[in-house]
């Protein structure tokens, strides 16, 4: 692990990370934009997940949920970019934080499930109703798990 510690320390010592760490205004701005990205992810996950569960918009074809499903991707892009910048300012302490590790594990799981199962269920209207219901429930649980782990990271840091 000494190599990982060295890499994390190098990231934290970078000019970008130092600039972010020294500016509460920049850190606040990045945090706000990060939350906007998370809001896009959460909102899109709710709309498309509840549609897959058959709880809302039942008269709309699943293919029309492609927009909200894309919202997850857009929100994720914003959140990952701002998250990397925020991470850089405190890389060693974030990497050692259990809530951060849980958030990253949840994020990786949610992205894989989204690409492999959730998005195809929406775009191709494939699978059985039970399979679509399972995809919707799993997607909601995974994305909100990531969001809750992020909240825990902030609250219990």
Print the domain residue range for 48: 2-155
Q: Which two tokens stand for residue 143?
A: 């994305």
b/e map 40-68, b = 16+ CB within 10 Å? bbbebbbbbbbbbbeeeeeeeebeebeeb
Q: Which two tokens stand for residue 155?
A: 């609250």
Domains of the chain: total? 1
Q: Print pLDDT tens along the chain (157 aa).
A: 678 888 888 998 999 999 999 999 999 999 999 999 999 988 988 888 888 888 888 787 777 776 766 788 899 999 999 999 999 999 898 888 999 999 999 999 999 988 887 777 776 655 667 777 888 898 899 988 999 999 998 888 7
Residue 124 sits at φ, ψ, to 5 deg, of -105, 0
């Amino acid at each position: 692990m000494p190599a990982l510690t060295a890499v994390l320390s190098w990231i934290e010592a970078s000019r970008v990370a130092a600039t972010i760490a020294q500016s509460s205004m920049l850190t606040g701005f990045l945090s706000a934009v990060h939350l906007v990205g998370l809001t896009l992810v959460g909102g899109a996950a709710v709309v498309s997940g509840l549609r897959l569960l058959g709880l809302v918009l039942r008269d709309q074809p699943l293919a029309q949920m492609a927009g909200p499903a894309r919202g997850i991707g857009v929100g994720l892009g914003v959140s990952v970019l701002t998250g990397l910048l925020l991470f850089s300012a405190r890389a060693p302490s974030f990497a050692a934080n259990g809530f951060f590790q849980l958030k990253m594990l949840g994020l990786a799981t949610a992205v894989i499930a989204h690409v492999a199962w959730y998005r195809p269920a929406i775009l191709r209207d494939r699978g059985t109703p039970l399979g679509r219901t399972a995809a919707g429930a799993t997607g909601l649980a995974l994305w909100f798990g990531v969001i809750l782990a992020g909240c825990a990271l902030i609250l219990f840091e």
